[in-house]
Amino acid sequence: MNWDRIEGNWKQFKGQLKEKWGRFTDDELDVVAGKRDQFLGKLQEKYGITKDEAQRQLLEFEKNCKDVSQPATR
């Protein structure tokens, strides 16, 4: 999953972000509004991690996140 899809469907992905990084509030995620660089900065600040670690975690999230924009198939 690439970040453009996440940004385009930000409201749907906020739940997955909160599952992974529970310290974020809805208001903080609303302010970020899908902007990857802003989210990275907030992630570093909120969790006290390096930029490299924040990028690693975010890449892992992107790789593993479920595409909520596609309807479920049976």
- CATH number for the domain spanning 59: value is 1.10.1470.10
- Please report the pLDDT score of residue 1 as a whole number: 75
- Residue 69 falls inside a structural domain: no
pLDDT in tens, 1-29: 788 888 889 988 999 999 999 999 999 99
Decide if 23 is inside a domain. yes
pLDDT at 70: 53
70 found inside a domain? no
pLDDT at 31: 93
45 belongs to a structural domain: yes
Which single residue is written with the structure tokens 């198939």? 73
List Cβ neighbours of 12 (8 Å cut-off, separation of 6 or more).
Answer: 68, 69
Domain count for the chain, please give it.
Answer: 1
Mean pLDDT across the chain, nearest whole number? 88
Give CA separation, 2 vs 12, 25, 30, 49, 61, in Å: 15, 23, 19, 23, 10
Q: Domain range spanning residue 28?
A: 3-64
Alpha helices (runs of H) in 1-74, residue ranges in sequence order: 3-8, 10-20, 26-32, 36-47, 51-64
